[in-house]
Amino acid sequence: MNSVSARHITPTDIERIVPFEVLIDRIAADRESAWISCRRMLHAAPEPSGQETATSQFIVSRLSTPLITAAIPPRGVGVIADLKIGAVTEATRVIAVRADIDALRMPDKKSVAYCSGRAGLAHACGHDAHTTVVLATAELLQTVARTSQESELPAIHIRFLFQAAEETGEGALWMIEDGGLEGVSAILGLHVDPQIRAGRIGIRYGVLTAQVDELHFVVEGRGGHAARPQHTTDPIAAAVMLISTLYQTIPRQADALTPTVFTIGSVHGGTASNIIPDRVEISGTLRTTDAETRLRVIGLIRHTCEAISLTTGSKIDVGFSSPLGSVINDPVVTSAFEASARQVVGDQGIVIIEKPSMGGEDFANYIDRVRGAQIRLGCAGEQSDWPLLHSPVFDIDEKAIAVGARVMARTALLLAMIARD
């Protein structure tokens, strides 16, 4: 597998992209308002995971240029686009730039002209901004290619991946199946962060996001009349005991120095106030940042289910699904991001992230296979209580878009150049 060589980014490496920085920044200044309009169009027309057909077609239409070939995979969602500069061959290492394009199934309650026009759907996680940043990055890099001499930018291959279904954890695997990582040396990603002001970039080396497991419990027993619980095993009581025990036990058993989050998000059982049901279904999530801790907690959950089943007489089964690994930022790719970001926002604009997020991100599926890293793109405005991700009033300070594109374009160029060494 091709890969960017595992060496530190040097000042000499940075000098290679200096001749193009003025052009990148000038184009960004000229095109910023158009990019904001693009983002607003996407924001107003959200599509849920796996159904992003119109979004995919919109992306292809924006990428249709002589220098970029763009196609929607046969599954009908997502876009793979390639920019080739110079004498590109099959041996040329590819730098991939990824955006996620799906929206959340939730209302948009903002009072803005570009509020979602589709009931029950909202770009409340910033994927519209991610898509716009990567479209802008493609525009910047193709302009650099068009205006540069071949001797300045020989044999560079940048691939843009617009991935569906990030929110369901399926899309990255779809993109990999569709050939998105073929020949890829390194992959770049970003996520807006409303806890960082727009105009700043968050950088973290190492573990960026948590490992995620979905948990599904089924509590089955003997139901009956609510007035005579002694004739039942009362699966609801067993479910309550299970949840309470897990909430108390996991924090006491997991290593206090290793972040671990266990949350129940769904409980379903019963049809009437005077009937004890035979079955209760519970769903939750486990977030960890360490493989050993994850296995220890999973074992603890299984043991707790067995113990409460024995105590209550109700059978308790637990299943684990949709496992998602941590995003672990590669040091070389992260250092390229940091060097590029410092050129854009200055030293004062760099936020070194001290602790991993407990959120999940299917970008992890890419970096299981190639080197990669994500940055946090500051998107908060001046107000102190800026809405957080997945809020029905989430929005971004749109000056973040040009900042993100300038950083992403520089980083892709830098990695493409050192990949030729």
The yes-or-no verdict on residue 255 having pLDDT over 50 is yes
Using pLDDT thresholds of 50, 70 and 90, give the confidence band for residue 2.
very low
In a domain, 391, yes or no: yes
**Residue tagged 């490992």 (tokens):** 211
In a domain, 3, yes or no: no
Beta bridge partners, 324, equal 212
d(CA 187, CA 321): 26
State CA 319 to chain mean position distance.
24
In a domain, 136, yes or no: yes
CATH number of the domain that 293 lies in? 3.30.70.360
Contact 138, 83 (CB under 8 A): yes
163 and 57 together in one domain: yes
d(CA 146, CA 260): 49
Which one-letter amino acid corresponds to residue 298? I
Query: Which helix H or strand E contains 415, and what residues bound it?
Result: helix 399-418
- Range 408-414 average pLDDT: 97
169 and 254 together in one domain: no
The model's pLDDT over 276-320, given as tens digits with 9 standing for 90+, comes to 999 999 999 999 998 899 999 999 999 999 999 999 999 999 999
365 and 294 together in one domain: no
In a domain, 4, yes or no: no
In a domain, 259, yes or no: yes
| pLDDT score of 1 | 40
33 and 165 together in one domain: yes
311 and 236 together in one domain: yes
Contact 404, 219 (CB under 8 A): no
262, 291, 324: which is the final residue of a domain? 324
Average pLDDT, the chain: 94
Contact 78, 163 (CB under 8 A): yes
115 and 185 together in one domain: yes
171 and 66 together in one domain: yes
The yes-or-no verdict on residue 242 having pLDDT over 60 is yes
Using pLDDT thresholds of 50, 70 and 90, give the confidence band for residue 139.
very high
| pLDDT score of 175 | 98
pTM: 0.92
In a domain, 6, yes or no: no
The residue segments making up the domain with residue 197 are 11-209+327-418
Neighbours of 271 (CB within 10 A): 6
d(CA 170, CA 77): 12
Using pLDDT thresholds of 50, 70 and 90, give the confidence band for residue 347.
very high
Using pLDDT thresholds of 50, 70 and 90, give the confidence band for residue 5.
low
Q: What percent of the chain has pLDDT over 90?
A: 85
288, 306, 324: which is the final residue of a domain? 324
259 and 183 together in one domain: no
Counted domains in the chain: 2
State CA 271 to chain mean position distance.
38
Q: Enumerate residues 6+ apart whose C-beta is below 8 A from 378.
A: 192, 193, 196, 197, 198, 199, 200, 201, 202, 351, 400, 403
Structure token digits, residue 47 = 């599509």
Structure token digits, residue 328 = 């672990």
Query: Which helix H or strand E contains 375, and what residues bound it?
Result: strand 371-380
Helix axes 399-418, 127-147, angle to 10 degrees: 50
324, 350, 382: which is the final residue of a domain? 324
**Residue 4: how many CA atoms within 13 Å on its side-chain side?**
31
The model's pLDDT over 353-408, given as tens digits with 9 standing for 90+, comes to 999 999 999 999 999 999 999 999 999 999 989 999 999 999 999 999 999 999 99
278 and 377 together in one domain: no
The backbone torsions φ and ψ at residue 66, rounded to the nearest 5 degrees and listed phi first, read -60, -25
State CA 420 to chain mean position distance.
28
d(CA 126, CA 380): 12
The yes-or-no verdict on residue 53 having pLDDT over 80 is yes
Q: What percent of the chain has pLDDT over 70?
A: 97
- Range 185-198 average pLDDT: 98
